[in-house]
Amino acid sequence: MTTHVLRVTGMTCDHCARSIEKALSGIAGVIRVEVSYASGQARVETAADLPVSALVGVVKAKGYGAEPAGSAGPAVPGKNEPGLRIAIIGTGSAAIAAAIRAAEEGAAVTVIEAGTIGGTCVNIGCVPSKIMIRAAHVAHLQSAHPFPGLKKQPAIVDRAALVAQQQGRVSELRYSKYESILESNPGISLEKGFARFKDAHTLVVKKPDGGKKDLRADRILIATGRAPAIPDTPGLKDTPYWTSTDALVAAELPQHLIVYGGSVVAVELAQAFLRLGSRVTLVARSRLLSGQDPALGEGLKAVLEGEGMGILTDADVKNVRFDGKYFQIDLGSETLKGDRLLVATGRKPNTAGLDLDRAGVKTDGSGAVIVDDRMRTSVPHIYAAGDCTDQPQFVYVAAAAGTRAAVNMTGGDATLDLSLMPAVVFTDPQVATVGLGVAQSAKLGLETDSRTLSLDNVPRALANYDTRGFIKLIAEKGTGRLLGAQVLAGEGGEIIQTAALAIRNRMTVEELAGQLFPYLTMVEGLKLCAQTFSKDVKQLSCCAG
């Protein structure tokens, strides 16, 4: 009998150790196996004629690294032990959150970036879009506010000046929240270049000068984000269409902007351009916000049309042409003509060039990396976080996932619970949701009772002279336990977190109705909606408890 000791890399928990034990025990000639996650070693007793290479091959086939303990190479560190090498592909919110936490745990972290540091949110997503939306809101109020004692006048818009201010703030935040962290944290190093997998533990980084560098790591995090997905519409790819990236930095306002898409990015930017002075026609392949309860999309559509936007839903774009000055969008029954076309029909994962198959990392049909609630991929020591995964595409989800991935890569055990993820669409009024809708509840076998409160019943909305929208609460029938909330309202994003906390604490609508809410606030609408489960709020005094 012979005893072999293997050094095993890539284990993240005791479950990994048990998985390796099972695989090794299945080899003919293996007598006894003990695998320790804490020490990073496998002790295998075998028949004398069984070569150690057979053991190493089986461990590697499971997605882990393995070598005889007596051979050269770094020992596998345990939690907080110096020497753990982590490579992170990307420098967006998920990547930087992971890098900071992993460095705090004592790991040596290398982040790899092929383009601009900071990812989508700060550079071409959340930050610039919200600045533009806010400026458009101010412009809209100048000409469309509800107060007759204040003179209304069209806003005089200097689009180039707005973009300069916007991009100045983008640069500030990129430096303070991303670049300065990479510069000042001694546990994090930056490698510029495009990374792809050579094998499950090795990345090949193609440098800007054309050179290549191999980077070997104990753990790897994929955090490469997404890019605009362009539909295969005849003629479209031969035209100078805009993506959201182009639209956000456009120095001139279109005379007639055609927006192709009906989801979050499409409706947010369409309203912003409309309020800054462009004529806007939105063309949606189905309905607005098709992933949400239909009432939310219908309510928003009525608002946008009321502001003057043309909206075509369930539209089939047959062909797109550009004659050098105008786009022509063929819908079959009619042809739209505009000087700019914004394509906002979704985003695709940036995974195509990573050679994930070389590492054995599995993706779904869209190319998104499949992860579990610990951000583990199909390969135990490779993790993924952010928009490149099959998780919801929100920056706060990405950052939370990145932090939890780092905890798990360094020996901890952290999960990400997305059952109560609040979401906001930053139109005006805002669309905000959390928890379960009626249809989702039914799929889970839950009987529900729901109430919808129009905003003309909310004192703050009346005081604002803006009663567009509603608040809807969904409760479990019988118990009254709050299951979900849907809001179409000004400041809807500020309202929804209160609903999330109420659901998290398993409050009933009766308990929510009995809470003290400050008067006059929009969030008081949650209390009023909760009260409608048992009474007619029209018969209450303005701030009745």
Q: Which residue numbers are catalytic? A: 11, 13, 16, 64, 121, 126, 542-543
Residue type, 22: K
- Rounded to whole angstroms, the Cα distance separating 390 from 387 reads 7
Q: Which residues have C-beta within 8 Å of that of residue 387, sequence separation ≥ 6?
A: 92, 94, 120, 225, 226, 347, 349, 393, 398
Sequence-ordered strand ranges (E) for 376-520: 382-384, 423-425, 430-435, 448-454, 470-476, 482-489
Residue 519 phi/psi, 5° resolution? -115, 130
CA dist., res. 294 & res. 407, Å (int): 39
Whole-number Å distance between alpha carbons of 357 and 218: 18
Q: Which residues contact 501 (CB under 8 A, 6 or more apart)?
A: none
209: exposed, middle or buried (Cβ count in 10 Å: 0-12, 13-18, 19+): exposed
Q: Which of 161, 70, 106, 188 is closest to 407 using CA atoms?
A: 106
Q: Judge whether 50 and 30 are in contact, CB under 8 Å.
A: yes
The DSSP element (H or E) to which 46 belongs, if any, is strand 41-46
| 363-374 CB burial, b ≥16 within 10 A, e <16 | beeebbbebeeb
Nearest to 235 by CA among 376, 122, 329: 329
CA torsion sign, 124 to 125 to 127 to 132?
Answer: positive
Buried b (16+ CB within 10 A) or exposed e, 268-300: bbbbbbbbbbbbbbbbbbeebbeebbeebbebb
Report the C-alpha gap between 484 and 502 in whole angstroms: 10
Show the tokens assigned to 321. Answer: 């042409």
Q: Give the residue from 342, 351, 356, 128 showing the smallest Cα distance to 226.
A: 351
The beta-strand segments (E) located in 188-278 are: 188-192, 194-199, 202-206, 212-216, 219-222, 226-228, 256-260
For the purposes of burial, counting CB atoms within 10 Å of the CB of 43, is it exposed (0-12), middle (13-18) or buried (19 or more)?
middle
